[in-house]
Amino acid sequence: MDKRTISVLSELVKEYQIPEFDNLYLDMNGIIHMCSHPNDFDPHFRITEEKIFKDIFHYIEVLFRMIQPRKLFFMAVDGVAPRAKMNQQRGRRFRSAKEAEILEQKARERGEALPSEARFDSNCITPGTEFMARLHEQLKYFVTYKMSTDAQWRDVKVILSGHETPGEGEHKIMDYIRYMKSQPGYDPNTRHCLYGLDADLIMLGLCSHEPHFSLLREEVKYKRSKGKQTRTSTPEETKFFLLHLSLMREYLELEFASLKTLLPFPFDIEKIIDDWVLMGFLVGNDFIPPLPDMHIINGALPTLYKAYMDVLPTLGGYINEGGTLNLERFKKYMQKLSAFDVEQFRETYADLKYFQAKTGRRLGSKERHSNFVIKLGLSGISKFIVLYKNTGLKDIDDVEPAKPVKNAELAALIDLAELEMGCSEEDEEEEGWESYDSDDHNDSLFFLEFHQHKKDYYMNKLEYSTVNSDVLRSQADGYVRAIQWNLRYYYNGVCSWSWFYPHHYAPYISDICNFSSDLELCYNMGTPFLPFQQLLAVLPAASKKLLPVPYQQLMVQEESPIFHYYPSEFKTDLNGKKQEWEAVVLIPFIDEVSLLEAMAPCDAQLTGEESRRNSHGPMLIYTHTDKDLGVYDAPEFFPAVKHNHASAVAASRDDVYVDPKRLVKGLCSGVRLDVYFPGFPTLKHIPHTAKLQKCKVKVFDQPSQGYNMMLQIVDQGKPDIKEVATELLGRTIFVAWPHLIEARVVAVSNKKLQYGLRDDSMNGGTPQFNIEEVKGSSQTQWGLQRRGIEDQYNNRMGVQIGETNILVHATPLTGRKYVFGAMGRITLEKQWLDTPVAYALQTTVRDIAVNDKSFQQFKTLNEIFPPKSICFMLGHPHYAALGEVVDGGNTVKSGRVKVSMSVTPEPDLEGIRKQHQDNLVQYMPGNVAAQRLGVSSHLVSRVTGTIYIVQGDKNASLESCNKVNVGLNLKFNKRERRVIPGYTRKDGSVWQYSNKAVELVCSYMQKFPQLFDYLAKHTGYDVFYESDVFPSTTGCVTEISNWLKEQHYTKVERHVCGSEVLEAELVAAVEKQVDDFQRHGCRVKTVTMQVKPHLLYKPELQIGNIAPDPSATHRLFDRIVNVRDSYTVPLGLKGTIIGIQQSDNDADIMYEVVFDKPFPGGLAINCSDSRGYRIPKPAMLNLSHGQRVEQVKTVNKPTAVVQPSGNAMMGNNRPPNPVSARKPKQNYPKTKSEPEHTTGGGDRRPRHRAAQEDVEDIGGSNTTQREASLPRQHIRVFFA
């Protein structure tokens, strides 16, 4: 993607910042690859199929929960691809198999012992393999399970298009979008979100002409040294980006805005987008190679844009007519673009001439040029140049050489002598020679060189023995045919399953522009390959086990008619690219006829299961039904769905096929482009200009080197601050243009004064202000805020906002919640962030039309609290207890809700907490650690960080050698600022080390003293060579690497500096304490109460990022309960906070929790497998916070006397049950003296009345898992 605009188009988002979407589409293959082989660079990595399936399910759950589609959820797995894609698939699979083989070979050479289990062969992620068949059954089970058990899935149509359904995943998605657009009643303002890792999705999204379209993808980091992608398979650890195509549409309009005054026909941004998609094909994609030297990294896009803007006014219309290529206009565009070929070679030619001048010798064949010049003579050269410029097609052998002329021969020989001898103009003048080197003659030689250069390309790259006009015409026609196939594929769907581009390389632009004027672009639709046919077409012999046995011999036996299609060794060609994974894999294209003929005798040997696998199948459309469809058995690894409520209907590709004549091209009728859809950024509403400039805007944290599309906000003058205050204070506006976040203004300020509303009061319609001077530290802070805003816009977003004179202080919208008012009135109110954020006045927007979300409006308590619905207590006693509505609104008494609360005691963690506090002081600075170790502090700093030792020949390049990190990695670089809990921490700018860290370094020194001796003597080096460190021994670095991997600290998770984290030993102690308590002392007490609704928390009553109790404080060792439904963590599961991941933004703070029980999707965060998870404040209620509040309020508060009774409603007083009296003492939350019921928000009545008015305890029982048969013990609360 071009770096001109990507910095503002792509937005790092948190779960709570996601806009509302109607439809979510998953290009599933990215998820499958990530969950099955997240680290291709580790030859030791092994994974079970069970874990793969669990991780895939979990990833889907997280994406669904993040986006929460309202209407449609479409999961598309790659099926059999068109033949045009198979050549690329074939190259990728051959390369991946070879890279895996080399990786394992190098590991063995280093003396590493590889696991005995076979590695996961990623080539099995191809339609028709046993793995894909099992995965398909698992996905069917997963959808059934979610629709039957998860409320969020019930109102959504779910479509599973698996590997059995032909077509690439993303194109099956686009087929369905085109189908929906063609249906009556389609909403033209549908909001789409497409997840996938392929950059090609940008073009697919844009050519849909759906304006509210965003792409979701993970952050992909690259290792600088090798350009390799690194990703994590854990979605909770992943940063997600939304790429807003709504904004990209507007940037494309800015890019081509100059055409608005130049075109003799109407400027249409939808047509411009179509032509932009066409231009994107010229730099290559999965179906067609890039034009020679046309690479994005080398600035290809600006070249394409400029040629397009130069020629479009002369074309009479647009080139790409909704997927149909206008050949006449395309030819003119290519003719204009053909100058690129010449200019590219001119740079190469200039470099060669410079080399010649400096060295006195030429690169290339001198004889070739001398013979050629003499052969043609000057008139022949002139004739060639005329023909070349007119046609660009003629070969050297097609030009008849003129009759040699003596003077011409002499001139040519003189020129050749000059070339060979490096004779300069000055030499000629000194020796009395008249210079023959005219401009025309220089041009002659240049074009001859250029022509020969192209001829070499066709002969060497495309392997033609001769290059003549017929060859070049065939190349041109074939490339144009490829462009048209691509356009139809993207705009209409597959137009031919069998067509493919039969070359690894594309022809030169200057040759393409001479394609046949009568070229017919007709394609045979054909049929898709069967799965086994594709497998044999794309897999290398190294992956033969993925095929049924009868076909395997075709790949490895020399007598096989297709044996030569499966070379074990092959070459690759970077062809102008930078990274090895971009290289062209030079393997032969498989012949379809030969392939099918070779397979035919084997087909009869297939088993019944294999024959079923070798067939196409429909996609499945799921909807929720209230009818119980019975038990749905899991295929493997998972429990059966006892009550199936997922109704599945099969649909073939033909069912969603739309004739191209009926497709809706361009924007749909009724689309609202003038209305702001929250969460979809727009450049509208603020006047601005745009200009391409080199401003080094940061893209992916690196300053861009090329041009950026810089926006400049038009200066609106210097408004008076009092007028601004009068207009804005107390109002809601939109801030942070162009992302436009709704916020409430609480203050405005300039560098001298700050205006705020006085108690939000109004006096006769005139606002009353609090006016404060901005001086001293406040003035310094004001200046820092202004510079920070301007820097963010200018250096990160490419927006020059001008001089900022006024800051607007506003609280952004965090969500909405239902508020219970007087007389039973229920309203949905907006909730705002507590802390104001500063924004530049000129980046704020007000009074715009907004498409607001359609929220469900509850009217009665019966609707909100139906029987058996789950809620949590926000009051006291029993704060954070899970409850179930007993009778709902039918028995509501004075506006109360009858709830059965499950109250449990909590384990005592005070001993472990004290142990943690004692450990906090056991850190020391580096100089103290160095004294204990008897080495320099510099050496301690180095060895606890990163140290590389290079294995191999010292004379070889570092890139080709294996570098081993022998540092302990106890601390990390400045950008990540990570530490290992229990070993290192950072106090300000000073690193500190624990006793365990010192002991680890000591063990390291004792184990490998020779290494430390060398490091101590060579302090000024960053990279060391194994032969220097260990001159007399071999294998030491491998031994060190293996020893480091065995150390316990390598298994401890890294955390950001400043985070509070418990050590693994303490977490294990917490787990043991909780487990023992649940086995021996955890009784459940059931209490039935009548509670005012504002003291009950239900997840669905809050929308957005709102904490259930904003007043709650969270600390290490606090006991919490998950209150988020449809979440990875089960609703109501309790846990203990073991880590607090700090963030500059309070809303981004994450809490690491070890839960009381393992659960599917749970993580291992310094804890046992499947028991850990990171959750934000909105996902939990803090039981320990409730206990702290109760303890504070025990002083001078009335006491609640708890008396057991046989019948709480009748008031019978009975003695305590004798069995219950003998039960062990339990640590229940203190409720004895706390009659007042408080909450963090929502209750605006006097606190001293809350308890007696809001809660009435009407009965309960005690039960335990071990003593479930004990008599019920009812309780009744009397307030003294």
The 10 Å Cβ neighbour count of residue 916 is 19
Burial bucket for residue 814 (CB in 10 Å: 0-12, 13-18, 19+):
buried
The 10 Å Cβ neighbour count of residue 287 is 24
Q: For 676-722, what is each residue's pLDDT tens digit? A: 999 899 999 999 999 988 888 877 667 777 788 999 999 988 999 99
Q: For 808-866, what is each residue's pLDDT tens digit? A: 999 999 888 888 876 667 888 888 988 899 999 999 999 899 987 666 666 677 788 88
Q: Give the pLDDT confidence score for residue 1250 in this predicted structure.
A: 43
pTM of this prediction? 0.82
3-class secondary structure, 1180:
strand
Judge whether residue 1196 has pLDDT over 80: no
Listed ranges 49-53, 106-110, 269-273, 1235-1239; the one with the highest mean pLDDT: 269-273
Find the mean pLDDT for residues 210-228.
Answer: 72
Task: Please say whether the beta carbons of 294 and 336 come within 8 A.
Answer: no
| Tokens describing residue 449 | 């060189």
E strand spans, 1029-1169: 1055-1056, 1060-1061, 1083-1091, 1096-1097, 1102-1104, 1119-1122, 1134-1141, 1150-1155
Q: Give the pLDDT confidence score for residue 1225 in this predicted structure.
A: 39
CA distances from 1200 to 872, 898, 1196 (A): 21, 20, 13
The 10 Å Cβ neighbour count of residue 8 is 25
Q: For 374-398, what is each residue's pLDDT tens digit? A: 344 434 444 444 444 444 444 444 4
Q: Give the pLDDT confidence score for residue 441 in this predicted structure.
A: 58
Q: Residue 585: which of 504, 518, 660 has the closest Cα?
A: 504
- With a CB cutoff of 8 Å and minimum separation 6, the contacts of 215 are 193, 194, 195, 196, 201, 202, 205, 242, 243, 245
Which segment of 345-359, 418-432, 1127-1141, 1256-1270 scores lowest on mean pLDDT?
A: 418-432
Q: Give the pLDDT confidence score for residue 1055 in this predicted structure.
A: 76
Q: Give the pLDDT confidence score for residue 426 in this predicted structure.
A: 41
Which segment of 165-169, 992-996, 1116-1120 scores lowest on mean pLDDT?
A: 992-996
Q: Residue 89: which of 490, 484, 576, 529 has the closest Cα?
A: 529
Gap between the Cα atoms of 1037 and 1021, Å rounded:
17
In degrees to the nearest 10, what's the CA dihedral of 817, 818, 819, 821? 160
Listed ranges 181-195, 237-251, 758-772, 1208-1222; the one with the highest mean pLDDT: 181-195
Task: Please say whether the beta carbons of 721 and 810 come within 8 A.
Answer: no
By DSSP bridging, strand 157-161 and strand 72-76 are: parallel
Q: Residue 667: which of 157, 1110, 207 has the closest Cα?
A: 207
Judge whether residue 879 has pLDDT over 50: yes
> Could you tell me the sign of the dihedral formed by the alpha carbons of 640, 641, 644, 645, in that order?
negative
Judge whether residue 1223 has pLDDT over 90: no
Find the mean pLDDT for residues 1120-1142.
Answer: 92
In degrees, to the nearest 5, what angle opens at C-alpha 1234 toward C-alphas 1228 and 1240? 95
Q: Residue 323: which of 658, 77, 9 has the closest Cα?
A: 658
Which amino acid appears at position 95 of this protein? R
Judge whether residue 1097 has pLDDT over 90: yes
Gap between the Cα atoms of 481 and 488, Å rounded:
11
The 10 Å Cβ neighbour count of residue 114 is 12
Find the mean pLDDT for residues 1198-1215.
Answer: 41
> Could you tell me the sign of the dihedral formed by the alpha carbons of 479, 484, 490, 493, in that order?
negative
Task: Please say whether the beta carbons of 1030 and 1037 come within 8 A.
Answer: yes
Gap between the Cα atoms of 53 and 62, Å rounded:
14
Q: For 72-93, what is each residue's pLDDT tens digit? A: 999 999 999 999 999 999 999 9
Gap between the Cα atoms of 1000 and 971, Å rounded:
14
Mean pLDDT, the chain, rounded, equals 83
Task: Please say whether the beta carbons of 888 and 866 come within 8 A.
Answer: yes
Judge whether residue 285 has pLDDT over 50: yes
Q: Give the pLDDT confidence score for residue 669 in this predicted structure.
A: 94
The 10 Å Cβ neighbour count of residue 1254 is 23
Q: What are phi and psi of 610, to 5 degrees?
A: -70, -40
Q: Residue 1111: which of 1185, 1210, 1057 has the closest Cα?
A: 1185
User: Which H/E stretch holds residue 451?
Assistant: helix 439-460
- At the topology level of CATH, where does 11-80+127-255 sit? Rossmann fold (3.40.50)
Which segment of 314-323, 468-477, 1099-1108 scores lowest on mean pLDDT?
A: 1099-1108
| Tokens describing residue 499 | 């067509």
Which amino acid appears at position 819 of this protein? V
In degrees, to the nearest 5, what angle opens at C-alpha 689 toward C-alphas 684 and 695? 115
| Tokens describing residue 188 | 């033209």
Q: For 645-654, what is each residue's pLDDT tens digit? A: 999 999 999 9
Q: Give the pLDDT confidence score for residue 1083 in this predicted structure.
A: 82
Q: For 999-1037, what is each residue's pLDDT tens digit? A: 999 999 999 999 999 999 988 777 899 989 999 888 899
Burial 180-207 (b: 16+ CB within 10 A, else e): bbeeeeeeebbbbbbbbbbebbbbbbbb
Q: What are phi and psi of 637, to 5 degrees?
A: 80, -25
Q: Give the pLDDT confidence score for residue 1242 in this predicted structure.
A: 39
User: Which H/E stretch holds residue 649?
Assistant: strand 646-651
Judge whether residue 921 has pLDDT over 80: no
| Tokens describing residue 54 | 């669990």
Confidence band, pLDDT 50/70/90 cuts, at residue 764: low
Q: Give the pLDDT confidence score for residue 1263 in this predicted structure.
A: 41
By DSSP bridging, strand 837-840 and strand 807-820 are: antiparallel
| Tokens describing residue 1031 | 């001159």
Share of the chain above pLDDT 70, in %: 81
Q: Give DSSP secondary structure letters for 479-544.
A: HHHHHHHHHHHHHT--S-SS-----SSPPPHHHHTT--TT---------PPPHHHHHHHH--GGGG
Domain 531-619 has CATH 2.30.110.10: no
Confidence band, pLDDT 50/70/90 cuts, at residue 17: confident
Name the residue with higher pLDDT: 976 or 861. Answer: 861
Confidence band, pLDDT 50/70/90 cuts, at residue 1230: very low
Residue position matching structure tokens 């309780």: 1275
Find the mean pLDDT for residues 670-676.
Answer: 92
Q: Give the pLDDT confidence score for residue 647 in this predicted structure.
A: 98
Q: Give the pLDDT confidence score for residue 974 in this predicted structure.
A: 55
Q: Give DSSP secondary structure letters for 586-640.
A: E-PPPPHHHHHHHHHHHHTT--HHHHHHSS---EEEEEE-SS----B--SSSS--
In degrees, to the nearest 5, what angle opens at C-alpha 654 toward C-alphas 648 and 655? 45
DSSP lists the bridge partners of residue 799 as: 711
Q: Residue 497: which of 592, 389, 399 has the closest Cα?
A: 592
Listed ranges 473-477, 942-946, 1077-1081; the one with the highest mean pLDDT: 473-477
State the distance between the two ends of the chain, measured CA to CA, in whole angstroms: 72
Q: For residue 730, give the DSSP letter.
A: T
By DSSP bridging, strand 192-195 and strand 23-27 are: parallel
Find the mean pLDDT for residues 219-229.
Answer: 52
Q: Give the pLDDT confidence score for residue 693 in this predicted structure.
A: 87
Task: Give the CATH number of domain 861-907+1082-1279.
Answer: 2.30.30.750
Task: Please say whether the beta carbons of 906 and 1130 come within 8 A.
Answer: no
By DSSP bridging, strand 1150-1155 and strand 882-885 are: unpaired
Which segment of 344-358, 452-466, 502-516, 657-671 scores lowest on mean pLDDT?
A: 344-358
- Domain at 688-843, CATH class: mainly beta
Task: Please say whether the beta carbons of 198 and 220 come within 8 A.
Answer: no
The 10 Å Cβ neighbour count of residue 1182 is 25
Confidence band, pLDDT 50/70/90 cuts, at residue 256: very high
The 10 Å Cβ neighbour count of residue 1118 is 23
| Tokens describing residue 478 | 């074939």
Residues comprising the chain, all counted = 1280
Burial 927-947 (b: 16+ CB within 10 A, else e): eebbeebebeeebbbbbbbeb
Q: Give the pLDDT confidence score for residue 1232 in this predicted structure.
A: 33
Domain spans, the chain? 11-80+127-255, 334-512, 531-619, 688-843, 861-907+1082-1279, 922-1059
Q: Residue 444: which of 352, 373, 375 has the closest Cα?
A: 373
Q: Give the pLDDT confidence score for residue 371 in this predicted structure.
A: 43
Name the residue with higher pLDDT: 165 or 1277. Answer: 165
Find the mean pLDDT for residues 432-439.
Answer: 42
Confidence band, pLDDT 50/70/90 cuts, at residue 234: low
Judge whether residue 324 has pLDDT over 90: yes
Which segment of 286-295, 706-715, 776-785, 889-898 scores lowest on mean pLDDT?
A: 889-898
Q: Residue 751: which of 786, 716, 714, 710 has the closest Cα?
A: 786
